Amino acid sequence: MEQHPQTVVESLRDAARAAIEALGPRAADIVAAGLATQRSSIVCWDRDTGEALSPVISWQDRRAHAWLGQFATQADVIEQRSGLRLSAHYGASKLRWCLENLEAVRVAHEQKRLAMGPLATYLAFQLLDNHPLVVDPSNAQRTLLWNLESRDWDAFLLDLFDVPRAVLPTCVSTRRQFGDLRIGEHTIPTTVVIGDQAAALFAFGAPAPEVAYINLGTGAFAQRTLPAPQHVDGLLTGIASQDENGQTYTLEGTVNGAGAALAWAAQALTLPDLEARLSEWLSRTSEPPLFLNGIGGLGAPYWIADLASQFIGEGELWQKAIAVAESIVFLLAENLNRMQGSGPLQSLVLTGGLAQCDGLCQRLADLTGLPAWRPQEHEATARGLAWLLAERPSSWPEIEGRSFLPVPNAKLSERYRRWRLALHRMLEQT
């Protein structure tokens, strides 16, 4: 799973230019810019010329899964230090793959010209006038090379994965003067760099610890905030931000196959209008089959990189589409159940493109027994980034939304029970 680095850079310049043009005379009022990116995607580049030496290797890329097997005996130590599971989704194996397989990367390293790290670092280097070589905590952690306690690169993990510290960016806070973004006649200070899911936590102001925030996109990410790092079996311990206000830690569960699973189903089932019709299908009274969802690898809380996806039971194509959608709900429920161990959850906040599907939201509420709220403006990453850029104001404009109150759904609960049994049987055979 790759992208061309310069294409990403130019898309951001185009977006900034379009925003400035849309503001017209009000563009003079812009006081700051921020950057939120996919956290586990990486790039390698020449620190002297800025030339990209690798593609953007996406967080979804698992090419080094087999290579990581040699570190299985160290998995517990890795998780204790980094807060993450030993997984090819994170940056360490991607960076090592580049060092071993890309000639341009090897030569630049020998000549001490190599820079490598999270996508956020590369984009800031390319877009800002002082070409900073720095990384914020939420993006640094997703390399699997960053220590959650010291909040810096971990010497043990660097040595374990054989990634030289000299090629990595300097670890800094989420908020600082990163540099100026120059678009036409405008010079805009960039003061926040953060991961996309971390930013989403702040979309509605300071996140409440008794709320689970679920961002439903290509993947689905369920998070709750913590005052200090806490390790829960099967979940990730993360950091959303670090600034003069302190640190915001998180528990996170990841479902790799959310929108990605629906896209897979649209192609595999030859249902090109699947997403457009999903809400209608979910509103029908039916008994769909089950779907064991390994799209993109089975993430939290099971962590099986190569689970073979499969349908259990028969049904029409549209019913199979429902089965894929319900598998997302079931996986989120598994993660939310684990989160309850850190204190009772009282409600859910649902954002992201898939949150526009009413049937998906209602099933989450019904299955978890938790009221769910979906804001009218579902682009949580951009809104959370804006709140951080505004320096965490105590007053933040409220927006309208829709509530989904849980109602008894015996058939859904029974499908969830059977789905769990089928999944655990498969895991025992893996």
pLDDT, residue 245, reads: 84
Same domain, 247 and 164: no
Q: b/e string for 35-56 if b means 16 or more Cβ within 10 A?
A: bbbbbbbbbbbbbeeeebbbbb
pLDDT score at 170: 98
Same structural domain, 137 and 214: no
Q: Are 18 and 161 part of one and the same domain?
A: yes
Residues 302 and 422 in one domain: yes
pLDDT attached to residue 339: 95
402: in domain: yes
User: What is the model's pLDDT at position 286?
Assistant: 86
- From 193, 226, 259, give the residue that closes a domain: 193
**Whether 249 and 377 share a structural domain:** yes
198 falls within a domain: no
Q: Consecutive sets of 10 residues in the chain, 430 residues long: mean pLDDT of each?
A: 96 96 96 96 97 95 92 96 94 97 98 98 98 98 97 98 97 98 96 95 94 93 93 94 93 94 96 94 94 94 91 96 98 96 94 93 98 91 95 91 97 98 92
3-state secondary structure the chain: CEECHHHHHHHHHHHHHHHHHHHHHHHHHCCCEEEEECCCCEEEEECCCCCECCCEECCCCCCCHHHHHHHHHHHHHHHHHHCCCCCCCCHHHHHHHHHHHCHHHHHHHHCCCEEEEEHHHHHHHHHECCCCCEECHHHHHCCCCEECCCCEECHHHHHHHCCCHHHCCEECCCEEEEEEEEECCEEEEEEEEEEHHHHHCCCCCCCCCCEEEEEECCCEEEEEEECCCCCCCCCEEEEEEEECCEEEEEEEEEECCCHHHHHHHHHHCCCCCHHHHHHHHHCCCCCCCEEECCCCCECCCCCECCCCCEEECCCCHHHHHHHHHHHHHHHHHHHHHHHHHHCCCCEEEEECHHHHCHHHHHHHHHHHCCCEEEECCCCHHHHHHHHHHCCCCCCCCCCCEEEECCCCCHHHHHHHHHHHHHHHHHHHHC
Which pLDDT value is given to residue 117? 97
Same domain assignment for residues 178 and 244: no
Residue 97: CATH number of its domain: 3.30.420.40
Tell whether 185 and 220 lie within a shared domain. Answer: no
Domain with 7, as residue range(s), is 2-193
Task: State residue 290's pLDDT score.
Answer: 98
Q: Domain ends where: 143, 160, 193?
A: 193
Examine residue 162 and state whether it is found in any structural domain, yes or no. yes
Our count of domains for the chain comes to 2
Residues 181 and 319 in one domain: no
Is the domain of 169 the same as that of 271?
A: no
| Claim to verify: residue 327 and residue 250 sit in the same structural domain | yes
94 shares its domain with 148: yes
Predicted confidence at residue 285, as pLDDT, reads: 86
- Say if residue 260 is in the same domain as residue 302: yes
Boundary-marking domain end, from 193, 225, 257: 193
